[in-house]
Amino acid sequence: MGIIFNEKSREFHLFNNNISYIIKILKNNQLGQLYFGRKIHQKENYDYLFEYAYRPMSAYMYEGEYEFSLEHIKQEYPSYGTTDFKYPAYEIIQNNGSRITNFEYIEHKIYGGKPKLKGLPATYTESDAEADTLEIKLYDKEIDVELVLNYTIFNNESAIARSCRFTNKGKESLELTNAMSMCLDLPDCNYEMIQLSGAWAREREVRHRKLEQGIQAINSTRGNSGHNHNPFIALKRPNADEFQGEALGFSLIYSGNFLAQIEVDTHDVSRVLMGINPFGFTWNLGENEEFQTPEAVIVYSDKGVNGVSQTYHKLYRTRLARGQWRDKVRPILINNWEATYFDFTEDILLEIARTAKDDGIELFVLDDGWFGARSGETSGLGDWYANTDRLPNGISGLSRKIEELGMKFGLWFELEMVNKDSELYRNHPDWIIKTPNRSSSHGRNQYVLDFSRNEVVDYIFEMVDKNLSESSISYIKWDMNRCITECYSAALPSYKQGEVFHRYILGVYDLYERLINKHPYILFESCASGGGRFDPGMLYYAPQCWTSDDSDAIERIKIQYGTSYVYPISSMGAHVSITPNHQLFRNASLETRGNVAYFGAFGYELDLTKLTKEEHEIIKKQVKFVKEYRELIQKGTFFRLQSPFESNISAWMVVSEDEKEAIVAYFKVLNDVNCPFRRMKLYGLNENLLYSVKEISSSSKESRNSDININSDKFNSYYGSELMNLGLITTDPSAGQVLDDGETCTDYWSKIYVIRAKEK
């Protein structure tokens, strides 16, 4: 396994037990792409993969020759204008106005391990034996610029991480107007593209479309990755599904404006580009200055789309997320937001916390409204000191009272924003992002602080650090509730205004890094009006993210299902909220709300003091269930079984690494009558093991009487081969007439199956 360079054929072969990636140095000293896919045997020459022919109306690089046209050669990191007419991977404007470049191969390095990216989140290794890295150095002598293409192949994962670095070795400044993190030219277009799109409260809905000649793309121009499109796309063969067939994944480890684009030419070659969105982007590259692109991770699977997802899950959970909380099970929390909103006192919070402690909950989180003059959304943001009218003992006093109850304490911040009605804005009105002599748009009555300025980031760091140092805080929910408009920084000259979007994100990353280094014990959860910045860049700093502001259990089935295409279950903040739900006004049972929320970083978001005794008994059993199985849920292998986007019934399951334990979740949105008998094939089990299957229903008589009993009489044993080939019987009571003493089935019905291997 590793990376081999064939000097005679001038080819690089990156490979492990699962995949191969082959690059060729072309005769013009640029790089060609020969292959990415399932592992093939190493040999001395793959020239047969390099195809060319005379095509009329094309342009050719060498006089007297009608074969070498970059328009028809698959390339590794292409430019525009020297016989290639497709969208390029990069563009540099020079002082004479030219955009033409010629980066030629100079040298390369192959070594074990993986380098860090300066100022940017990225995957990592804990030893040099985990991965191998190839750095290919290219050089354009006319403009004196060096370009390094970086590839890391992980030994045990079907994944390659890619990024690029431009360095200006000359004395003249240059304008970088496009710098993609990766390009991949594929030899055909026989794929369906999968994207995760939506809007606030319905994030990451799964969308499919067949590749066609022309351009298919998703992007963000909002300053953050956004609710609308996630920085991830996948390609699958038409005959591939969740469990079989070829699929490719492309994921960008970045939290700002992005572009994911596939251009299919009229000869059916598909060019995949991913990186910072070139729209509105320029970067001034002065003498001896460099620009590092974010990292993109590409994945190959011959076991369907689930195979792509499982590779991302493991890689991002163990080699993107970092710190003390990476491998720890997450605490069960209660957040006061939907319980009180802004209407609370210290006494009210302590009453909720005491009730939560009695139910077995481990962490109390104080949300918005604790600081400055904050009594609604129009004031207080930026003034990160306690409102002593509400909290007479401050955050320090409240946090210690919570800890005296035997719970941990967490706190909400929205560090990137400011209200005009705040001391921060009154003292520094020039610290917001706004364009001179233009009106400034607001979002939620707030404005975006200019995190491209070091002094702004320094100021916020000092205020937050003071709170953390003086109080007992174990968890931070870092929110961000609006996008960037009127993008301009008063601190930058005119020729650097195209850098503001990227510099802003670098400032966010810098603040995260400084807080984590100073307070490594804190569990960070990122948030952006829910899922507006749920991206791999955030996972590097915060191992979990508030998945959506929509806490309705039924809508969350779709949201969490779509999110699982690339993000691990451990990263999804998932809470049980009140009914009727505050977003959809839907009435789902407390059991079903729990059954959905189990598959994430579990918690509650409701006023526990207003629940009945019976409801508290259900919560206590839910808390007990999570404590017993959260290690499995957080670290197991996740399988999507049935899509909520395609059926009234949906399902997923998680399996332990040793295949001895699994949990299946089964959801039916609307009830049906006299319905078919049903069964569902499971995955990931050991076909030779005998398993016990125990059911937890959301609407049996027992559960209506607050008795969730995983040791119920509904107990059966099956071999793994039966469960995977015949399927698990999921027939519910609506398949026949329900008897007076029998289990019933309703709308928003669900069931959990706990599966354990029996001892021999």
Q: Which residues are marked as active site? A: 479, 549
C-alpha to C-alpha distance for 212 and 199, rounded to whole angstroms: 25
Instruction: Please check whether residue 575 is in contact with residue 551, taking contact to mean a CB–CB distance below 8 angstroms.
Output: yes
Exposed / middle / buried, residue 147 (Cβ in 10 Å: 0-12, 13-18, 19+): buried
Strands 661-668 and 715-719: unpaired
Show Cβ contacts of residue 310 under 8 Å, excluding neighbours closer than 6 positions. Answer: 637, 638
Q: What is the dihedral of CA 422, 428, 429, 432, to 10 degrees?
A: -90
**What tokens does 129 get?**
């034996």
SS3 505: helix
Using omega within 30 degrees of 0 as the cis cutoff, is the peptide bond preceding 580 cis? yes
Instruction: Please check whether residue 452 is in contact with residue 507, taking contact to mean a CB–CB distance below 8 angstroms.
Output: yes
- Would you mind telling me the total number of residues written for the chain in this entry? 760
Neighbours of 385 (CB within 10 A): 14
Helix, strand, coil percentages in the chain from 3-state DSSP, rounded to 5? 20, 30, 45
Find the DSSP H helices in 46-157: none
C-alpha to C-alpha distance for 411 and 398, rounded to whole angstroms: 11
Show Cβ contacts of residue 552 under 8 Å, excluding neighbours closer than 6 positions. Answer: 577, 581, 583, 584, 586, 588
C-alpha to C-alpha distance for 277 and 220, rounded to whole angstroms: 7
C-alpha to C-alpha distance for 233 and 740, rounded to whole angstroms: 50
SS3 703: helix
C-alpha to C-alpha distance for 567 and 537, rounded to whole angstroms: 12
